[in-house]
Amino acid sequence: MRLSRYFLPVLKETPSEAQIVSHRLMLRAGMIKQQAAGIYSWLPLGFKVLRKIEAIVHEEQIRAGHIPMLMPTLQSADLWKQSGRYDAYGPEMLRLTDRHGRDMLYGPTNEEMITEIVGTYVSSYKALPLTLYHIQWKFRDEVRPRFGVMRGREFYMKDGYNFDLTKEDALHAYNRHLVSYLRTYERMGLQAIPMRADSGPIGGDYTHEFLVLAETGESEVFYDAAITELKFGDREIDYDNREECQGVLEEFTSRYARTDETHDETAFAEIPEDRRRTARGIEVGQIFYFGTEYSEKMGAVVQGPDGKQVPLHMGSHGIGVSRLLGAIIEASHDDKGIIWPEGVTPFHCGIVNLKQGDAAADAACQGLYDALTKAGLEPLYDDRDERAGGKFATMDLIGLPWRITVGPRGLKNGVVELTSRRTGESQELSPEEAVKRVIEIYAPHHDHLRDEQPMAGRSFHTWV
């Protein structure tokens, strides 16, 4: 993309309504625009990051064997009356009436609808195990929408639901989700710690929340510092292998890590003092196993191997896709702006032309642009007729992790400059070497840069 042709309404002033850094930076970088309290338009740069995060979520869900679909945002109240949650949900539910006087609502979550769907079509245990998910806009009429996309009223969520014959099978689904979430967050450059949580209105005994540590987080958390040493890394996992999934769960949940709702002072005091931590965290996901309650109410009952009718064991699993943008920025920024992790950056590399109109500089920039594009990367070329300082400030603000700077002086010596946004370190390289280096940097993030087949038929672009 050429910046002169893009729509990037960056703000010079710091917006006064934004209380936390991620909200300020998203507004300043021209990523979102508020349309009503807790409701945002996603401007092109913000939309691009949202799509990148969404793609990672899809890829990791599909890798774990979960099946994508799409349910509507508007739901009939009937289903919720059947489950008993129509009244229980309270004022957070946005209720509306259609022209025929029928009670409708904008879905805050989809347990009722998915259970009704599965109950309609699945009649035998042979169709199990089954995990369906979608990524869809939700609405919760939060009392205090704030912090930009962190606590919106309309927000984008991945919610998945597993249906299993036995509790044991459903707990395997639980473990599988925990593992797939660890992978998902790490690919986004985030450390999200699974913490024992409270199951709240959904009920059930098993639930973990995934928290990103940040001073601006809304949850108070207590943990053993040893847990922050754990990395999922690039290990391959067989999601059908129960012991393997269980092993990862045990590894990542064996240390004390809890939200304030489940905090236990006595157990906490047993951690060696130098490892005891109290901090704040941003909830970016949660997983639940809750048994047969919804299945019984919504009729998700199948014929078991012995011919008897049994209600299905269920769990639900959510990732806050739009909240993740805020969480990533809270975890990765400096006083100049955002620093995107390579896995989610909206553009892979900025190209800054120090002297627009200089024949050699223009040609070199165009050459870099073409070479990166041909390799399957997306550069953002600042081809505006602007001062170098202004161009650097924009690149720093929008947070592209790599920048190539091109000027007549360097070109006389055959070099351009490759700069890391994170460290500020620069290297002088020939344009060809700079392109090669950028491709190497992104190779771990994109199958096509490694000359490998993308997950056969399973990459985001082909997931439907």
**Member of 112, 116, 283, 383 binding ligand ATP (CB under 6 A):** 283
Could you say whether residue 61 binds Mg ion (CB under 5 A)? Answer: no
* Residue 212 beta carbon to ligand ATP: minimum distance, rounded to whole angstroms: 10
Query: Out of Mg ion, ligand ATP, none, which partner does residue 85 contact, by CB within 5 to 8 A per kind?
Result: none
Q: Residue 149: name the closest of 160, 159, 138 by CA.
A: 138
Pair 389, 354: CB distance under 8 Å: no
Could you say whether residue 259 binds Mg ion (CB under 5 A)? Answer: no
**How many amino acids of this chain bind ligand ATP (CB under 6 A)?**
15
Looking at residue 272, its amino acid is: P
Residues of this chain, 270-309, that bind Mg ion according to CB under 5 A: 286
Pair 49, 31: CB distance under 8 Å: yes
**Member of 30, 107, 129, 152 binding ligand ATP (CB under 6 A):** 152
Residues of this chain, 122-141, that bind ligand ATP according to CB under 6 A: 140
**How many amino acids of this chain bind Mg ion (CB under 5 A)?**
1
Could you say whether residue 157 binds ligand ATP (CB under 6 A)? Answer: yes
Task: Please list, in sequence order, all residues whose beta carbon lies within 8 angstroms of the beta carbon of residue 190, skipping any fewer than 6 positions away.
Answer: 212, 284, 324, 327, 328, 331, 341
Sheet with 74-76, strands from edge to edge, namely 74-76, 103-106, 94-97
d(CA 315, CA 206): 9
Scan for tokens 């940097």, then name that residue: 441
* Residue 19 beta carbon to ligand ATP: minimum distance, rounded to whole angstroms: 15
Task: Please list, in sequence order, all residues whose beta carbon lies within 8 angstroms of the beta carbon of residue 380, skipping any fewer than 6 positions away.
Answer: 1, 3, 6, 346, 347, 349, 350, 351, 400
Query: Out of Mg ion, ligand ATP, none, which partner does residue 140 contact, by CB within 5 to 8 A per kind?
Result: ligand ATP
Q: Which two tokens stand for residue 189?
A: 């450059």
Sort strands 349-353 and 379-382 into parallel, antiparallel or unpaired. parallel
Task: Please list, in sequence order, all residues whose beta carbon lies within 8 angstroms of the beta carbon of residue 456, skipping any fewer than 6 positions away.
Answer: none
Q: Which is nearer to ligand ATP, 53 or 298 (CB)?
A: 53
Q: Which is nearer to Mg ion, 177 or 403 (CB)?
A: 177
Largest Cα separation within the chain, whole Å, is 82
d(CA 221, CA 113): 33
* Residue 376 beta carbon to ligand ATP: minimum distance, rounded to whole angstroms: 31
Stretch that binds ligand ATP, among 166-174, 314-322, 335-343, 353-361 (CB under 6 A): 314-322
Could you say whether residue 207 binds Mg ion (CB under 5 A)? Answer: no
Could you say whether residue 285 binds ligand ATP (CB under 6 A)? Answer: yes
Q: Which is nearer to ligand ATP, 140 or 446 (CB)?
A: 140
Using CB under 5 A, list all residues that contact Mg ion.
286
Residues of this chain that interact with ligand ATP (CB under 6 A) are: 109, 140, 142, 151-152, 155, 157, 283-286, 318, 320, 322-323
